[in-house]
Amino acid sequence: MENFKIDIDADGIAVIAFDVPGRSMNTLTSAVMKEIPELVERIKTDETIKGAVITSGKASGFCAGADLGDMAGGVLSGGGDLQKAFDAGWALNGAFRALETCGKPVAAAINGLALGGGLEFTLACHYRVVENDNKIQLGLPEIKVGLFPGGGGTQRLTRLVGVQNAMMAMSEGKSFRPNDAKGAGIVHEVVEKGQSVEAAKAWIKNGGKAVQPWDDKSFKLPGGGPYHPAGIQNFMVGNAMLRKQSYGNYPAVVNLMKAVYEGTQVPMDAALRIETRYFIKTLMTPQAQAMIRSLFLSKQELDKGAVRPAGVPKSDPKKVSVLGAGMMGAGIAYVQVMAGIETVLIDQTQEAADKGKAHVEELLKKRLSRGQMTQEKYDATLALVTATTDYDHIKGSDLVIEAVFENREIKADVTKRAEAQLVEGAVFGSNTSTLPITGLAEASVRPEDFIGIHFFSPVDKMMLVEIILGEKTGQAAIAKALDYVLKIKKTPIVVNDSRGFYTSRCFSTFLMEGMAMLEEGYGPALIDNVGRMTGMPRGPLEMHDDVALDLSYKIAKQTALDLGDKYVPTEGADIVAKMVEGGRYGRKNGKGFYDYDTKPKTIWKGLSELAPTTKGIDAPEEPGAFAQIDELKTRLLYRQAVEVARCWAEGVIDDPREADLGAILGWGFAPWTGGPISMIDGIGLAKFVETADRLAATYGDRFKVPELLRDMAAKNETFYGRFAPEKAAA
């Protein structure tokens, strides 16, 4: 076997090292899944083997789960033949079932992360030992890509920890650290690093039982099943909780509940087949296919530098200076030092610079307290930050990131001061979220090395970085910016210059459509509830508070100055201006559309004076009530998607992967769609244009589509077809 190495010791215990060749991390590739039945047969029939320990041959982890590209291709290659699809899906599930019924004790020695199919592999073993390392995660995160566990996870985890705990873990995609996993009942033993194999062997030598709990005649489901007085409550309440989580947008959530509900009422063999049927049904949904493509396949490609200019030598930034030590600048400093980059953090006063470094220290202390970092590593990492007001410290930097106030004059000043310290070839990156890069580059004496590097807040949690090209930005600067983003372990997208670029420009339309609804007389609670129902993380008014109303106000003023007579005020601009002038800046000062001095937050009563509520939705029992809600949801999603299409038509963005992933990671565009481009393709260009035309006729030109979409609709094209990534790269 290529992927498993077997070593049988003197006690007849086979230590099986899972080691996929040519990969830094084990995954359940199609080749691995073909070998697992062979491995099981060897354990079962080889008389010299008395028991087996399965561990990883890699230091990076046990197994990161299934290779979704392989899986989707294998299942869907049957051309819609359900029997072929089921057989492909059952292959892994059946192999794991054969493992746990092979008649010999099998233990998992988990010496690294085990996620998705990787954890399911260990759940099919009779005993699980994990090493005490807080870098190790154990979990079933499939829901995050529109799926649910399909390798026995829905049935084995439920039988181990009960319906409520299992459903919470699977529906949230929750990961556990080793000791938490033991406390939850997912693993049996936690041992020191390097001791997992010996501990697993000891369990076998001491008479480890070769029968799973659920195969014992005395087994009872923890907490009870669907017809148990206590167990039924889990399903009654669970339905409501899952609806609250998903708003009906994710088939995976519903099918997960069905698999658990039905599977807990039958023996394991039947339960696993039920799981496979629902898994295949989910995998074939447009939502799952779109999410797998964007959140797994496209993300993997972009994380590996798929859009990096060819022929430019790789760079490795060792020292990077950050101008501005506020929350954004300090966040950037943190991710840099976590990547081992020497960081100079500069602000106008030493007090401000020190405050920025203190934020880095605070984030590092959290890692230290959680056991994710040693004291030695903590000290060395914090020492990489120099907080100062002295621009001379910039000397030797490979890159400068400017993260100062959104004011053209201030940015021009710090650009000149920083560039005076840089050697030829060093890159200057602006973290501006709205101001065009070409205009900012006018302050630079080397515009070919000037580029936009737009982070999202909070930097330590947000995974996207938007790289913006000015008119004169050179290929070397693009490559160096991408190398930097990949080194700090963020996902990059590359876009061309425009006011607001791609993410800020398109995200603002979600806020503005919410403001349009407010002006029309819809109540703020209704607007935000409908916003969440679309699959966005929060409603438009809530998100406006999060972004900060005074920032919107200042951006509007700067845009008005820049555009002059061409400036058109956005929806609700007067309402926002009055709120800001009255001291309501949003969540940051506890006063915006909501008041935040109570928990939960409450809608600001004064809003009814600025925007009286005159419209509502009919009661649910009234005809057309749901159609009214659907109309509002359609407006919020289409407004964003139309702006994305305009960005495409204007050449701001030209790769469907970057457009979709940038939208989901950048501003939280409804993940179930796979992103706005996937949404348009999924709806169909002709139908999308037809609906957008109706919206434009009813609500205004903000829904008017570019001619590109009409042309594509006439030719029955899709974005992923006409603008395939390889075509975009070419």
Local confidence band at 434 (pLDDT 50, 70, 90 cut-offs): confident
Amino acid 727: pLDDT: 43
Give, for 4, the enclosing helix (H) or strand (E).
Answer: strand 4-8
> Cα separations (Å) of 3 from 25, 39, 51?
12, 10, 19
Judging by beta carbons within 10 Å of its beta carbon (0-12, 13-18, 19+), is residue 57 exposed, middle or buried? middle
Amino acid 679: pLDDT: 98
Over residues 226-284, the pLDDT tens digits come to 988 888 888 888 888 888 889 999 999 999 999 999 999 999 999 999 999 999 999 99
> Cα separations (Å) of 51 from 11, 13, 30, 47, 602?
9, 5, 26, 10, 61
> Counting every residue, how long is the chain?
730
Contacts of 118 (CB under 8 A, 6+ apart): 26, 27, 28, 61, 62, 63, 64, 65
Amino acid 522: pLDDT: 96
Tell me how many degrees the CA angle 256-257-258 measures, rounded to the nearest 5.
90
- For tokens 């607001």, what's the residue? 500
> Cα separations (Å) of 400 from 210, 319, 437, 450, 619?
60, 9, 15, 10, 56
Over residues 700-727, the pLDDT tens digits come to 999 999 999 999 999 999 999 999 876 4
CATH class (in words) of the domain with range 319-499: alpha beta
Contacts of 562 (CB under 8 A, 6+ apart): 439, 499
Over residues 48-64, the pLDDT tens digits come to 999 999 999 998 899 99
For residue 552, the one-letter residue type is S
Task: Give the active site residue among 131, 466, 513, 658.
Answer: 466
Closest CA to 636 of 543, 500, 499: 543
> Cα separations (Å) of 581 from 430, 549, 574, 610?
29, 10, 10, 13
Contacts of 109 (CB under 8 A, 6+ apart): 53, 54, 55, 129, 196, 197, 199, 200
Local confidence band at 562 (pLDDT 50, 70, 90 cut-offs): confident
Does 623 score more than 60 pLDDT?
yes
| DSSP category for residue 127 | E
Amino acid 619: pLDDT: 77
Cβ contact 426:399 at 8 Å? yes
Q: For residues 173-186, give the mean pLDDT.
A: 96
Q: For residues 592-615, give the mean pLDDT.
A: 95
466 in active site: yes
Which ranges constitute the DSSP H helices of 534-572?
540-547, 549-563
Contacts of 187 (CB under 8 A, 6+ apart): 110, 122, 128, 129, 130, 138, 178, 181
Amino acid 658: pLDDT: 97
| DSSP category for residue 79 | T
* Predicted TM-score of the model (pTM): 0.92
Over residues 11-70, the pLDDT tens digits come to 999 999 999 999 999 999 989 999 999 999 999 999 999 999 999 999 889 999 988 877
For residue 266, the one-letter residue type is V
Architecture of domain 4-284 in this structure = Alpha-Beta Complex (3.90)
Calculated CA dihedral for residues 153, 156, 159, 165, nearest 10 degrees: -30
Q: For residues 565-576, give the mean pLDDT.
A: 89
Which token pair is 566?
């061409």
Amino acid 58: pLDDT: 94
Over residues 308-366, the pLDDT tens digits come to 999 999 999 999 999 999 999 999 999 999 999 999 999 999 999 999 999 999 999 99
| Structural domain spans, the chain | 4-284, 319-499, 504-729
Local confidence band at 729 (pLDDT 50, 70, 90 cut-offs): very low
Amino acid 76: pLDDT: 53
Over residues 451-509, the pLDDT tens digits come to 999 999 899 999 999 999 999 999 999 999 999 999 999 999 999 998 889 999 999 99
Q: For residues 375-397, give the mean pLDDT.
A: 97
Local confidence band at 730 (pLDDT 50, 70, 90 cut-offs): very low
Looking only at the bridges linking them, the beta strands covering 342-346 and 385-388 are parallel
Amino acid 405: pLDDT: 86
Amino acid 73: pLDDT: 64
Closest CA to 551 of 437, 660, 662, 435: 435
Local confidence band at 79 (pLDDT 50, 70, 90 cut-offs): low
Q: For residues 103-109, give the mean pLDDT.
A: 98
Q: Which CATH number fits domain 504-729: 3.40.50.2300, 2.40.50.140, 1.10.10.10, 1.10.1040.50?
A: 1.10.1040.50
CB atoms within 10 A of CB 614: 9
Average pLDDT for the chain: 94
401 DSSP β-pair partners: 322, 429
Calculated CA dihedral for residues 641, 647, 651, 652, nearest 10 degrees: -120
